[in-house]
Structure 1
Amino acid sequence: MNQKIAAPVVSNRMSPALSGPKTPWAIKGELILNCNCTVFCPCVVSLGKHAPTEGYCQAWSGIRIDTGHYGDTDLSGLNVGLLLEIPGLMARGNWKAAAFIDDRASQEAFLGLIEIFSGRAKGTTGLFKLLVSEFLGAERAKITYENEGKTRRLMVGKKIQGEVVPVQGKDPEKDIVATNTEYWMGSDITVATATKGRVRAFGRVWDFDGRSAEICQIDWAGPDVPR
């Protein structure tokens, strides 16, 4: 059974207890994302200055943490799922978001990951605090993130069922990659598509099969943004 945490737990309103020195954190691993864009997401190269192809963005994402920590708490081996809803230009904010945290996480790791993905921990994900106006909630869930050849799969209980594959190029052995970008997730983004992209969570019912997807190796840290 999923353990739900009410939205105020991940509210972006800062309490005095959270206004002091920030905890050092780092995450290395891989991220996949599937959105409702009909072709490769224009936000990657426009850095959010170009509107999504449908005029708004709805997306799910999965993060596989290969190595990571929040202070002295080990995050290695854990998975995270995200739900994102953006009403227009990414850079203009007013996002809604929700987080799913691996049910294998300790309580310390659970709380640390909420700090990271709410943006309160600053650093690479600090933009969430600036752009997300409403956190819908955070909950523990059984999350699996699988790699099979070039295929990536994310399962978040019955809430997210996702599978993405790189778009095939002229040389099928080489992925199509947007390189040297200033995209916040990472500089090299593999162009992909979703063979399955279904969300049933927080009142959202989305089916993004065949829509835009991304694959990215991540190397994030805080409280300072890595250079």
Structure 2
Amino acid sequence: MAWKIEGTYFENCNCDMVCPCSTSGLSAPADHDRCHVVLAFHVGSGRVDDVDVSGLTIAVVGDAPQLMSEGGWRMGLFVDAAASPEQAEGLGAVFSGQRGGPMEGLAPLIGEMLGMESARIEYTDDGRSHRVKIGDAIDIAVEDFVSPLDSTGKGVRVSGIGFPADTLAAGTATRSRVNAFGLTWDNEGKNAFSAPFAWSG
């Protein structure tokens, strides 16, 4: 059976601005010794096999070496507590790379799975501002960046990325607190990306 999901996503990492990992296809080093990142995905509509997963949110928490292509990532996964067991199983398989698609390419880089937890996830996206709150573990808000020199007001876009979408809006975190899976950090003021996404496998 096949799957298809689409929605919106955003991420926040501890690079200073416009993460070199993403813009180089993981071939350039991050700004700091370790990459600390959270990626939040809200599925606007989608199915995994015959299970409807629309309206649910997933968050990936990662800790990786400075040069991410070296592998040895540590990764944990939060699944929306609103998901039924069948929905959680389907989304967990997709976002761990077991069902192919974009996450399958990252799976060989993961050295340690820190766990998959069910949690109440609050996700908001108004097109330029994005926020995810996961219980007491994660509270991140980011804003897409609009250059004061940009008369169009469209904001900074980076194209040709490939994952999780081809074109990402660059931004910065206005709030970023993480205490999950034994990982703790605060990436306020650091890099953010956001975009619509559409995956299938």
- Give the conservation status (yes or no) of the 8 Å contact 2:6–2:199: yes
Whole-angstrom CA distance in 1 between matches of 2:123 and 2:87: 18
**5+ residue gaps, structure 1:** 1-22, 223-227
- 1:118 aligned residue: 96
Question: Which residue among 206, 209, 213 is the counterpart of 2:188?
Answer: 209
Question: Which residue among 186, 208, 214 is the counterpart of 2:165?
Answer: 186
- 1:176 aligned residue: 156
Over the residues paired in the alignment, what is the CA RMSD in angstroms? 1.3
Q: How many residues align?
A: 199
- Give the conservation status (yes or no) of the 8 Å contact 2:174–2:188: yes
Which structure has more strand as a fraction of its residues? Answer: 2
- Give the conservation status (yes or no) of the 8 Å contact 2:32–2:66: no
Q: Deviations over 1:167-206 (max 9, x none)?
A: 1222362111012x14321110100100011101112221
Question: Which residue among 63, 66, 70 is the counterpart of 1:92?
Answer: 70
Q: Deviations over 1:53-82 (max 9, x none)?
A: 113211111111001111000111001111
Whole-angstrom CA distance in 1 between matches of 2:167 and 2:134: 26
- Give the conservation status (yes or no) of the 8 Å contact 2:62–2:74: yes
**5+ residue gaps, structure 2:** none
TM-score between the two structures when normalised by the length of structure 1:
0.84
Whole-angstrom CA distance in 1 between matches of 2:70 and 2:162: 16
Q: 1:50 to 1:24 in 2, by over 3 A?
A: same
- 1:43 aligned residue: 21
Whole-angstrom CA distance in 1 between matches of 2:54 and 2:200: 14
Question: Which residue among 98, 117, 140 is the counterpart of 1:162?
Answer: 140
- 1:60 aligned residue: 38
Deviation of the 1:149 alpha carbon: 5.5
TM-score between the two structures when normalised by the length of structure 2:
0.94
Whole-angstrom CA distance in 1 between matches of 2:152 and 2:113: 40
